Amino acid sequence: MAETPRPKRKREEEEKEAASHDGAVATAAAPPFPLAELRVRRVLRESARDKAVFLHGEVTGPSGEVMNAVVLLEKTPFQEEKISELLKKHMKLELQMRNDIYSTYHLYPPPELSELKATVVYPATEKHLQKYLRQEVHLVRETWEDYRNITLPFIQSQSFSIQWVYNILEKKAEADRIIHENPDPCNGFVLVPDFKWNQNQLDDLYLIALVHRRDIKSLRDLTAEHLPLLRNVLQEGKEAVVKRFGVPGSQLRIYLHYQPSYYHLHVHFTALSYDAPGSSVERAHLLADVIDNLAMDAAYYQKRALTFPLRADEPLLKRFQEAGTL
């Protein structure tokens, strides 16, 4: 596991704490994915702004079968404390152009300071390939009746496997990464770093709270019965983040996605200053607002229409089109 990033204040204290996590290693005993053997089939998406590329590739399995993989390569944010090292230890500096007081260079950092983050989904299903493929997007406005008649039957037949969630809850994976746990089977949850975050810097802090209960698919299922659980996630989640990372609750965006990709209730915790993917108004619902809405009306999310984006080729969009609701 990467070293826990240190908040700007309380460095000494944090260093001591970080040291206690240094020994942690990834739980997966499986060998690393054979990246060098990946045959790239196509670029699913590429983003100059995010400095990221999503690849669809193939690898040959042990018995000769061809298996799909999605590989995301992305440049990681700068770590403030490593910048002077990077400037001192660069391997090469090539002048690109000079004009008056302006000049640009190609700077080649040493390998240990030029890390890329690689995220691998293997074996990847057709749904993973679709999830990462750049697509035109449409907004859908779903009434409660639409949810019951169109969305619910669809997600019951189609949703992504949530085995990774159960692995975390049962400590079969990522156990060493747990930031906080409330073990109560009804009102408890586990808070872990999201796999989008490499934990090297706080600028893109991203954690995910997974509830222990397995019967809540999404925002749509929430009622006043779930208020104690949601309040625990909000309160204890904020306390755990300030304790471990020094980031106060006032600088966290804590929200649920609707629609989520994985239908087991979870809550996203991101740094407020980070423009996290999926944090825009058409997908993110602030947990504090969700709690207030349920406190005012126990069946709020079984009454109101909800808007969300769907990619052009998503089968759910087709179902809405066929039902004539778009």
SS3 192: strand
Q: Which of 255, 127, 267, 123 is nearest to 194 (CA)?
A: 267
Sign of CA dihedral 87, 90, 92, 96: negative
Query: Considering the complex, what minimum distance in angstroms separates the CB of residue 164 from ligand M7G?
Result: 4
Query: Considering the complex, what minimum distance in angstroms separates the CB of residue 167 from ligand M7G?
Result: 8
Residue 192 vs 294, nearer CB to ligand M7G: 192
- Site residues for ligand M7G per CB under 6 A: 164, 174, 192, 194-196, 208, 257, 260-262, 268, 278
Residue 9 vs 140, nearer CB to ligand M7G: 140
Query: Considering the complex, what minimum distance in angstroms separates the CB of residue 26 from ligand M7G?
Result: 11
Query: Considering the complex, what minimum distance in angstroms separates the CB of residue 102 from ligand M7G?
Result: 39
Query: Considering the complex, what minimum distance in angstroms separates the CB of residue 257 from ligand M7G?
Result: 3
- Largest Cα separation within the chain, whole Å, is 67
Residue 85 vs 176, nearer CB to ligand M7G: 176
Amino acid at 122: Y
- The yes-or-no answer on residue 266 being catalytic is yes
147: DSSP letter: I
Query: Considering the complex, what minimum distance in angstroms separates the CB of residue 260 from ligand M7G?
Result: 3
Q: Return d(Cα 141, Cα 43) in angstroms, integer.
A: 31
In this structure, are strands 306-311 and 137-142 parallel, antiparallel, or unpaired?
Answer: antiparallel
Burial profile 258-293: b = 16 or more Cβ within 10 angstroms, e = fewer? bbbebbbbbbbbbbeebebeeeeeebbbebeebbeb
Query: Which of 56, 128, 226, 266 is labelled catalytic?
Result: 266
Residue 150 vs 265, nearer CB to ligand M7G: 265
Q: Which of 241, 242, 237 is nearest to 256 (CA)?
A: 237
Q: Return d(Cα 167, Cα 170) in angstroms, integer.
A: 5
Residue 122: count of CB within 10 angstroms of its CB: 16
Q: Return d(Cα 246, Cα 112) in angstroms, integer.
A: 26
Residue 104 vs 163, nearer CB to ligand M7G: 163
Residue 119 vs 149, nearer CB to ligand M7G: 119
Residues 280 and 304 sit within 8 Å (Cβ to Cβ): no
| Catalytic residue list | 266
